[in-house]
Chain A
Amino acid sequence: KAGVTQTPRYLIKTRGQQVTLSCSPISGHRSVSWYQQTPGQGLQFLFEYFSETQRNKGNFPGRFSGRQFSNSRSEMNVSTLELGDSALYLCASSPGPGTEAFFGQGTRLTVV
């Protein structure tokens, strides 16, 4: 069974630009969550999607958004990039509510 796939693996963007990251969950998993990992703040929850609906949202500004498609694939978008958005963005999929999350390799975003 294929794991969680995130693309691209690395991105370099300029301040003020926007970026879209993609995540393909494990087959059959309908819950997709996104996390930001930085050395200073650690792992922080961004949002969770289930059946194309945002079910939970973390404490991030509105510049961070996401969506989920009918095949459970998910994208997250960050607009008006800031230097502080440089981080590893992790996607995770889960088989059901309250169950374990399976993580992808992440997308390393660098904002210059």
Chain B
Amino acid sequence: AQSVSQHNHHVILSEAASLELGCNYSYGGTVNLFWYVQYPGQHLQLLLKYFSGDPLVKGIKGFEAEFIKSKFSFNLRKPSVQWSDTAEYFCAVNALNNNAGNMLTFGGGTRLMVKP
């Protein structure tokens, strides 16, 4: 069974600081990768996704992520955070086995607080 690790549980940054959230997964086969964000009181929203091709993917609100296959990693980055980025961030993996279904394995989440 696959697993996903997010190493930072809580991150506190000042506005304009750069952000990098780590995500590692364990699965030897082909995967689709996602980052979701959950703003306070809101539902989970997709930030960005990686299916194939260019390993550097760009998402909404200035976020990007890089897939490094050799490291089983999919780290999320943003050059300059804003107070409105305060939220919980989840990395998720869909292992593309023979079932070809939609079964996401989530990391434990990272709570980001951005100080104004």
Which A residues lie at the B interface, using CB under 8 A? 31, 33, 35, 42-45, 48, 50, 55-56, 58, 90, 92, 94, 97-106
The interface stretch among B19-27, B60-68, B97-105 is B97-105
> Does the CB pair B44–A48 fall under 8 Å?
no
Give Cα A105–Cα B42 distance, bound, in whole angstroms: 7
> Does the CB pair A33–B102 fall under 8 Å?
yes
Nearest chain A CB to B90's CB is how many angstroms away?
A: 7
Partner of A103, one of B32, B43, B99, B103: B43
A50 contacts across to B, CB distance below 8 A: 101-102
Interface size class of B (residues with CB under 8 A): 20 to 34
Which B residues lie at the A interface, using CB under 8 A? 32, 34, 36, 42-46, 49, 51, 90, 92, 94, 96, 99-109
Give Cα A92–Cα B106 distance, bound, in whole angstroms: 14
> Does the CB pair B99–A56 fall under 8 Å?
yes
Give Cα A33–Cα B105 distance, bound, in whole angstroms: 12
B103 contacts across to A, CB distance below 8 A: 33, 45, 48, 56, 58
> Does the CB pair A100–B34 fall under 8 Å?
yes
A-B contact pairs, 18 of them (CB 8 A): A33-B104, A35-B104, A45-B104, A48-B101, A48-B102, A48-B103, A55-B99, A55-B101, A56-B103, A90-B44, A97-B100, A97-B102, A99-B102, A100-B46, A101-B102, A101-B104, A103-B45, A104-B43
